[in-house]
Copies of this chain bind each other. A is one copy, B any other.
């Protein structure tokens, strides 16, 4: 099983104002109001029907600049090494990114989105509707992030995950 290969292909491209990793917001919470677009390849346009009823969508994408990973990383919001899976760092064994963004409108296969923390040119893997009953949790503990998370909007990326 460990050697099984799973092959995916982009279904579109995400465009944003961020052309380099440095100075990017590290999460959508730090990217409030930042606009971008998702250009979905024409073959998949029929699948976008009804999506405009949703105010928020989950984007899964390929961290295409990630070429390697370390199982211990010092996150942007901390000074101690943490286990990789306890962080949202982009360099992962399977470098899949997840962002929940606001959907403003859809025009001819182009999604106009807000709160974008994604690098320009990022390959899109999937779009799912955001549904609070599925995706919002209460009574949450967040370990090492407990102190830092309330200030996440002011944290920016740097070169460490280049």
Inter-chain contacts of A1 with B (CB < 8 A): 10, 13, 123
B141 touches A53 (CB 8 A): yes
CA distance A6 to B62 in the complex (A): 8
Interface 0/1 of A126-162, CB less than 8 Å to B: 1111111111110111111110011010000000000
**Is A56 at the interface (CB under 8 A from chain B)?**
yes
B88 touches A129 (CB 8 A): yes
Which residues of A8-43 have CB atoms within 8 Å of chain B's CB atoms? 8-11, 13, 27-29, 41, 43
A128 touches B88 (CB 8 A): yes
Given A50-B82, A123-B1, A137-B136: A129 and B100 interface contact (C-beta under 8 Å) = no
**Is A68 at the interface (CB under 8 A from chain B)?**
no
A123: contacting residue among B6, B49, B100, B133, CB under 8 A: B6
A143: contacting residue among B28, B50, B142, CB under 8 A: B50
B86 touches A129 (CB 8 A): yes
Inter-chain contacts of A149 with B (CB < 8 A): 131-134
Inter-chain contacts of A96 with B (CB < 8 A): 8, 60, 96, 125-126
Inter-chain contacts of A128 with B (CB < 8 A): 85, 88, 98
B130 touches A8 (CB 8 A): no
The chain B residue sitting closest to A143, CB to CB, is B53
Given A44-B71, A72-B46, A126-B96: A51 and B133 interface contact (C-beta under 8 Å) = no
Q: List 4 tightest A-B contacts by C-beta distance, closest first.
A: A53-B143, A49-B83, A50-B86, A47-B71
